[in-house]
């Protein structure tokens, strides 16, 4: 006795099922409704066994002939068949979900990375589920634990690792639990985990950005970055320090400001720089968002960019080319990083495996109109109005700005 072949009906008498009639057009011709078609409906229209149709539509690795696969796919399209994701997960052990955990999806750089990942995943029939950890390692561990129950096809960590002593071990354990279940876990950015990750060389890129300022003649360069327990910020600070050390310029710790990596964080950093009363002629911001916030705050205080202060960002988000002035920055290929992360997952899924460690994509310094040679040293001589009449806060702080280094200007100009 022989077993049914993939291109024959499963054990049914001849004539009971067969190839779709050439003249049949769509679900109505096949006698089926367009919605709610079952795997048996697809199999019947294709003239094959339900088992074969299930193997094709579930993505099973069981061998199926090209002819049978084509017939099943044509029948599924004709019936508007929608795969039951839960059933597929039972067959393959994986859902059609790719988990992406970012620090903040509203950051345009992270949005670009997720877009690249999504474009690649959707092309392979998967959906990307995004979670924001808000730069909180505890939240990251929580998302990883939740994803474990979803049986995802893969998980991508985006943005670099946060060193939180209380959460470092739980995060590593959550990652390992996913990997023990056969779920590939990869990263965009540097993570001190035994997983493959793709990134740019943040140290070299930051050194390149600050060296550009140094070449213009700047030595009093402020660093506006996020928390130094972030691997990304650490690496960019290391590049900043290296560029200054290379020309014998000391790092003035008063010019190193840890601030949220947001527009508001950039604005807050300028207030803190002014309060520190440390002269500076240029700023290296760890992200474009911080740079935009810093430029806005400086201009509110009467500072001209780049005549008084030069500013360099990092990421080259879309608005960098359209800001006022257009921002000099490090171009990071956000979408390409997302696509590369998907390739790491797909390589693991294919059985080839992706070795732990980093692969680097190229970066580029994009010089625009926010940098120029220094002409004057910008500093703040503060005169803050603490409160108004009757104990009410003043409507706005009163600040005076002066520049020293050769040219006298009236305060506030």
Predicted confidence band at 390 (pLDDT cuts at 50, 70, 90)?
very low
Helices 108-123 and 334-349 sit at what angle, rounded to 10 degrees?
A: 40
As to burial, measured by CB atoms within 10 angstroms (0-12 exposed, 13-18 middle, 19+ buried), residue 136 is middle
The pLDDT, as a whole number, for residue 228 is: 85
CA atoms within 13 A on the CB side of 142: 9
Look up the CATH architecture of domain 26-90: Orthogonal Bundle (1.10)
Is this structure's pTM higher than 0.85?
no
The C-alpha atoms of residue 73 and residue 261 are separated, in whole angstroms, by: 47
Asked if domains 94-194+335-360 and 202-328+367-377 share a fold, the reply is yes
- Residue 91 predicted with pLDDT over 80: no
The C-alpha atoms of residue 377 and residue 309 are separated, in whole angstroms, by: 8
The pLDDT, as a whole number, for residue 408 is: 31
Mean pLDDT to the nearest integer, 364-380: 83
- Residue 254 predicted with pLDDT over 90: yes
The pLDDT, as a whole number, for residue 80 is: 85
The pLDDT, as a whole number, for residue 95 is: 79
- Residue 388 predicted with pLDDT over 60: no
3-state secondary structure of 65: coil
The pLDDT, as a whole number, for residue 356 is: 75
- Residue 244 predicted with pLDDT over 80: yes
Look up the CATH architecture of domain 94-194+335-360: 3-Layer(aba) Sandwich (3.40)
What average pLDDT does the chain have? 82
Domain spans of the chain? 26-90, 94-194+335-360, 202-328+367-377
Tell me the CA distances in angstroms from 299 to 139, 274, 292, one per residue in order. 37, 13, 11
- Residue 278 predicted with pLDDT over 70: yes
The pLDDT, as a whole number, for residue 89 is: 52
- Residue 9 predicted with pLDDT over 60: no
The pLDDT, as a whole number, for residue 34 is: 39
CATH number listed for the domain at residues 202-328+367-377: 3.40.50.2300
Q: Is the dihedral of CA 109, 114, 115, 117 positive or negative?
A: positive
- The DSSP secondary structure of 263-319, one letter per residue, reads HHHHHHHHHHHHHHT--BSEEEESSHHHHHHHHHHHHHTT--TTTT-EEE-SB--GG
Mean pLDDT to the nearest integer, 225-234: 92
How far apart, in Å, do the first and last CA atoms of the chain sit? Answer: 96
Token pair of 329 as six digits: 């920055």
């Amino acid at each position: 006795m022989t077993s049914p072949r993939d291109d024959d009906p499963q054990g049914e008498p001849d004539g009971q099922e067969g190839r779709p009639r050439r003249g049949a057009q769509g679900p109505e011709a096949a006698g089926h409704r367009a919605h709610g078609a079952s795997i048996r409906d697809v199999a019947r229209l294709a003239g094959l066994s339900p088992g074969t149709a299930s193997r094709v539509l579930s993505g099973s690795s069981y061998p199926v002939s090209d002819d049978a696969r084509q017939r099943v796919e044509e029948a599924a399209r004709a019936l508007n068949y929608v795969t039951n994701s839960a059933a597929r997960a039972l067959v393959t052990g994986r859902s059609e979900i790719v988990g992406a955990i970012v620090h903040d999806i509203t950051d345009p750089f992270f949005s670009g990375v997720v877009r690249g990942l999504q474009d690649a995943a959707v092309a392979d029939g998967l959906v990307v589920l995004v979670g924001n950890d808000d730069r909180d390692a505890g939240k990251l561990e929580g998302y990883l634990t939740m994803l474990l129950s979803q049986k995802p096809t893969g998980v991508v960590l985006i943005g670099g690792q946060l060193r939180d002593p209380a959460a470092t071990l739980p995060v590593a354990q959550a990652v390992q639990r996913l990997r023990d279940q056969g779920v590939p876990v990869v990263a965009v950015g540097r993570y001190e985990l035994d997983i493959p990750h793709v990134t740019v060389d943040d140290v070299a890129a930051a050194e390149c950005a600050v060296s550009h300022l140094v070449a213009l003649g700047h030595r009093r360069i402020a660093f506006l970055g996020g928390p130094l327990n972030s691997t990304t910020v650490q690496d960019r600070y290391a590049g900043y320090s290296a560029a200054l050390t290379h020309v014998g310029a000391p790092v003035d710790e008063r010019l190193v400001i840890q601030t949220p990596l947001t527009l508001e964080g950039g604005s807050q950093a300028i207030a803190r720089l002014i309060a520190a009363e440390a002269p500076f002629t240029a700023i290296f911001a760890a992200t474009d968002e911080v740079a935009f916030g810093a430029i806005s705050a400086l201009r509110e205080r009467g500072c001209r960019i780049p005549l008084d202060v030069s500013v360099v960002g990092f990421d080259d988000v879309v608005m960098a080319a359209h800001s006022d002035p257009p921002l000099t920055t490090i171009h990071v290929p956000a979408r390409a990083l997302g696509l590369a992360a998907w390739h790491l997952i797909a390589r693991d899924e294919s059985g080839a495996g992706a070795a732990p460690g980093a692969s680097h994509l190229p970066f580029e310094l994009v010089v625009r109109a926010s940098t120029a040679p220094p002409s004057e040293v910008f500093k703040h001589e503060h005169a803050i109005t603490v409160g108004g009449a009757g104990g009410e806060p003043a409507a706005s702080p009163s600040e005076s700005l002066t520049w020293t280094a050769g040219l006298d200007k009236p305060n506030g100009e």
